[in-house]
Structure 1
Amino acid sequence: MTSIGRDLEQALGQFLQRRNTARFYDEMLARAPEGVDRHNYPVLAGLGRVGPSTAARLAAEIGLDRSRVSRHAERFENMGLLRREADPDDARGTLLILTTRGHKAINAMRSGVAAYLDDLIRGWPDGLAESLIDGLTRLARESDDTPPNRPPAGQDP
């Protein structure tokens, strides 16, 4: 592992510690409808990010099992945050779709996090936040393109 890779691993590890992620969830959930919590929020966030999806596809996207996604989706449907429609690509499938109320809830939660982040970076030098955004965006894109179980750099498969 290169020094920069090691440094990045350390920085990401520190950033993703529970105390930091808890602050993000606190900011999101302060603006969430009653009934949305840390455990079920990923279902709403996932739908907000990927758009209409089956429970199976959404589960794969957000890293939860399908039955758990379905349980959370049922709760959100009862709350008026999402609806189900027949999947036009698969007659046996059902799409989970955010309602207008669901989109408003996601936008409110995201704006809480955005305000929190704005406060954190307020005193940063010009361009630093933009560089971080560019780097994280690229890191996410390239990690999505990396096949799982890739051998470590410098080793043959």
Structure 2
Amino acid sequence: MPTDQLHELYAGLFRVVVQIKRWSHPHEEVDPPCLGVLFCASRLGEVRMSELAQEMLLDLSTVSRHVRTLVQEGYLERTEDPDDRRACRLRVTDRGRQALQRARELRAAALGEVLASWPAKDRDDLTRLLNRLADDLESKAREKAATR
């Protein structure tokens, strides 16, 4: 792929990420940075805070601050780590899963409005290609991590 085309693709993806980050809804109960932590914790399952920070490419202190808020508000719970009693594991609560579901519904509705005028084939292609790109990026990240 030509370099100019790669730059254009990267710029387009960056613009999409920026615009999606701007999407918060007044009825969302979790603020956007905490919502990102909650989403990642949900995707990973029961996880240590250090693993969560590593996955999100964030400093542990940043993740810790968001986790503290999420635990206090009942969206995450801490459990003892059976492998290391000094550490804890995080797990999304029922309240956290419900908050994630509501946020997904609100944001999906907004995305649906934007894509409503697109032909069905374009929407299907976008979904398929974005998921393919995400899978390939995750696979590449796992390969890099394995060689470290």
TM-score range relative to shorter protein: 0.7 to 0.9
CA deviation profile, 1:33-55 (whole Å, cap 9, x unmatched): 2xx32333221121122222110
What is the percentage of aligned positions where both structures have the same residue? Answer: 31
> Offset at 1:107?
0.7
What does residue 32 of structure 1 align with? 28
Instruction: Structure 1: state its 5+ residue gaps.
Output: 151-157
More helix by share: 2
Larger mean CA deviation between 64-73 and 7-16 belongs to: 7-16
What secondary structure does 2:100 align onto? helix
The amino acid of 2:16's aligned partner reads F
TM-score w.r.t. structure 1 length?
Answer: 0.78
Aligned equivalents of 1:85 and 1:13: distance in 2? 36
TM-score w.r.t. structure 2 length?
Answer: 0.82
What does residue 46 of structure 2 align with? 52
The amino acid of 1:21's aligned partner reads I
In the TM superposition, what are the counterparts of 1:51-130 in structure 2 within 5 Å?
51-130=45-124
Aligned equivalents of 1:61 and 1:87: distance in 2? 19
Tell me if 1:21 matches 2:17: no
Instruction: Structure 2: state its 5+ residue gaps.
Output: none
Aligned equivalents of 1:13 and 1:70: distance in 2? 26
Aligned equivalents of 1:138 and 1:120: distance in 2? 22
Larger mean CA deviation between 60-69 and 133-142 belongs to: 60-69
Aligned equivalents of 2:9 and 2:139: distance in 1? 19
CA deviation profile, 1:82-113 (whole Å, cap 9, x unmatched): 11111234443211111111110111111111
Are the structure 2 counterparts of residues 53 and 130 from structure 1 closer, same or farther at C-alpha, using a change threshold of 3 Å?
A: same
Are the structure 2 counterparts of residues 22 and 58 from structure 1 closer, same or farther at C-alpha, using a change threshold of 3 Å?
A: closer
> Offset at 1:6?
3.9
What secondary structure does 2:33 align onto? coil
